[in-house]
């Protein structure tokens, strides 16, 4: 206990000396995160080991919700009719500042906390996007804010949202539709990354749908003329998609995954199924491509003389950028300064880079300046976009893996289960807590962020791209 108190005192003295601009409340935020650091690391490591995929995050959700409840937040489980989604709130009145927490893993990339490819459990899932750290850091920030409210230093409401199934299905869309951000003034989020920056870039909108073809079985040799092959339709369809790629916008993307192409070689298959995804930086440009790709399914069915069915899974918006919020976050990153790494952590990072064929430069610890917002950014997609079209969103990226590490890979899983990931997670909790504090203490900042949101959104009417309840059973 004495050692812990001494460390806290040394931390406070160090922060006061290193930055005269750091006010007492921000020092309290940092001290709060530090005081919870060990349990937060334990939570992150537990979620890392569980590695539960979309809508199966029962244990991960419970760990986070239980710790929120233990620390005095009011927890509501199973929100939006999704068993693994929850909210954890504290305080009353305005402003209401929310913070997002993801915790789902990716299938098939299980990995030990080792710089060489070595599955933790052969064939199992792994946190190749760092969501074990995502939800944990956000909860750490929410608890830090709660403790300042409890001490009477700030007023308002903090709202942590446990958001499952980001990698597949995009649960936030159903949560938005359920009104979980209706009372929120500003939302704060982050994502594990290979660098530290206030993120003012958008992402790609997308839409997911299932195409099924229904034919007639027959013996593939004795009487194939009596068969109508669903797999023929599937192959004609994917061929059409691949020829169409030349004629879509350079910013657009089409992906597909064949889920069922027939079972045995000597039967004309009467059923085939594939998952199709269309993306573009702008939803308005993505939708015409989506409509064309759907028409191609009909054409393939006609050519193969089979029936077909298209089922919408879900779709998400591109992220609506908020530079005013990014400027607030940027100032806090500069107050915190870069992350320091030990010689062992640097060696681990270089070993990861060597194993993945990247230059062995180690960890990227610098604070990047606020970038100019790009009109057509590359990269991935996130259902944070749907949140950002309903409430102003401030986003952050923090280093949890070495520079140039392939994302959604075993390499990120490895870093997320050891001290490199732990340091990034704790740093993110501090940066988000400090940014939320700014919003609670300065109503003018809240208004500035909201005004930019209104201007950027314009007269666009948000329409959730879902049909029916969330597919919590993977249907």
Residue 22 confidence (pLDDT) = 81
Domain spans in the chain, listed from the N-terminal domain onward: 23-201+318-457, 205-316
In this structure, are strands 96-101 and 186-193 parallel, antiparallel, or unpaired? parallel
Please compute the mean of the pLDDT values over residues 113-120 and round it to a whole number: 96
Residue 135 confidence (pLDDT) = 98
pLDDT over 70 (residue 441): yes
Residue 475 confidence (pLDDT) = 55
Q: CATH: 1.10.1660.10, 3.30.420.40, 3.30.70.360, 2.60.40.1080. Which one for 205-316? A: 3.30.70.360
Here the tokens at position 69 are 């409840």
pLDDT digits (tens, 9 = 90+) for 351-401: 999 999 999 999 998 999 999 888 878 788 999 999 999 999 999 999 999
In this structure, are strands 186-193 and 307-316 parallel, antiparallel, or unpaired? unpaired
- Report the alpha-carbon distance of residue 386 to residue 462 in Å, rounded: 8
- Report the alpha-carbon distance of residue 280 to residue 105 in Å, rounded: 24
Residue 17 confidence (pLDDT) = 45
Burial class (CB in 10 A: 0-12, 13-18, 19+), 369: exposed
SS3 414: helix
- This prediction has a pTM of 0.93
Residue 474 pLDDT grade (very low, low, confident, very high; cuts 50, 70, 90): low
Query: Domain 23-201+318-457 belongs to what architecture?
Result: 3-Layer(aba) Sandwich (3.40)
What's the gap between Cα 116 and its chain centre? Answer: 25
Residue 307, φ and ψ in degrees, nearest 5: -95, 165
C-alpha closest to that of 132 among 36, 29, 197, 59: 59
Q: Are 57 and 78 in contact (CB under 8 A)?
A: no
- Number of helices (H), then strands (E), in the chain: 14, 11
| Mean confidence (pLDDT) of the chain | 95
Which residue has 């990047």 as its token pair?
A: 368
Q: Are 213 and 300 in contact (CB under 8 A)?
A: yes
Is-cis flag, bond preceding 95, omega within 30?
yes
What's the gap between Cα 300 and its chain centre? Answer: 35
Which residues on adjacent β-strands are paired with residue 212? 273, 309
pLDDT over 50 (residue 20): no
Q: Are 156 and 97 in contact (CB under 8 A)?
A: yes
Please compute the mean of the pLDDT values over residues 209-227 and round it to a whole number: 97
Per-position DSSP letters for 191-239, written without gaps between them: EEESSBEEE-----EEEEEEEEEE-B--BTTT-GGG-B-HHHHHHHHHH
Here the tokens at position 223 are 């009487």
pLDDT over 60 (residue 12): no
CA-CA-CA-CA torsion sign (218, 220, 226, 229): positive
């Amino acid at each position: 206990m004495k050692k812990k108190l001494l460390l806290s005192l040394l931390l406070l003295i160090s922060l006061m000396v290193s930055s005269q601009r750091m006010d007492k409340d921000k020092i309290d935020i940092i001290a709060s995160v530090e005081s919870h650091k060990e349990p937060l690391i334990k939570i992150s490591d537990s979620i890392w080991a569980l590695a539960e995929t979309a809508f199966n995050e029962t244990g991960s959700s419970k760990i986070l919700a239980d710790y929120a409840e233990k620390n005095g937040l009011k927890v509501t489980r199973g929100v939006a009719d999704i068993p693994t989604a929850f909210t954890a709130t504290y305080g009353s009145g305005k402003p209401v500042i929310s913070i997002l927490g993801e915790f789902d893993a990716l299938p098939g990339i299980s990995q030990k906390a080792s710089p060489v490819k070595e599955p933790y459990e052969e064939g199992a899932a792994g946190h190749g996007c760092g969501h074990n750290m995502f939800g944990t850091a956000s909860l750490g920030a929410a608890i830090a804010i709660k403790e300042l409210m409890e001490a009477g230093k700030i007023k308002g409401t903090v709202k942590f949202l446990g958001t499952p199934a980001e990698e597949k299905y995009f649960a936030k869309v159903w949560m938005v539709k359920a009104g979980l951000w209706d009372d929120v003034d500003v939302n704060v989020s982050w994502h594990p990354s290979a660098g530290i920056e206030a993120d003012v870039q958008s992402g790609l909108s997308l839409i997911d749908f299932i195409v099924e073809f229904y034919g007639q079985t027959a013996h593939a040799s004795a009487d194939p003329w009596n068969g109508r092959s669903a797999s023929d339709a599937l192959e004609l369809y994917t061929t059409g998609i691949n020829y169409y790629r030349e004629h879509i916008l350079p910013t657009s993307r089409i992906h597909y995954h064949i889920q069922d192409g027939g079972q045995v070689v000597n039967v004309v298959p009467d059923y085939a199924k594939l998952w199709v995804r269309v993306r573009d930086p702008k939803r308005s440009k993505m939708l015409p491509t989506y409509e064309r790709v759907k028409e191609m399914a009909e054409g393939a069915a006609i050519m193969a003389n089979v029936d077909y069915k298209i089922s919408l899974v879900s779709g998400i918006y591109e992220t609506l950028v908020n530079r005013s919020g990014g400027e607030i976050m940027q100032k806090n990153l500069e107050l915190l300064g870069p992350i320091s790494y030990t010689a062992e952590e640097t060696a681990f990072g270089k070993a990861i880079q060597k194993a993945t064929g990247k230059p062995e430069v180690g960890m990227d610890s610098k604070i990047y300046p606020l970038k100019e917002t790009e009109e057509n950014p590359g990269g991935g997609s996130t259902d944070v976009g749907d949140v950002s079209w309903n409430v102003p969103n401030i986003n952050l990226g923090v280093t949890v893996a070495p520079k140039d590490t392939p994302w959604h890979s075993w390499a990120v899983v490895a870093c997320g289960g050891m001290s490199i990931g732990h340091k990034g997670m704790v740093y993110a909790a501090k940066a988000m807590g400090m940014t939320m504090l700014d919003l609670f203490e300065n109503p003018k900042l809240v208004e500035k962020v909201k005004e930019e949101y209104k201007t950027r959104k314009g007269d666009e009417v948000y329409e959730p791209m879902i049909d029916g309840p969330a597919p919590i059973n993977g249907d």
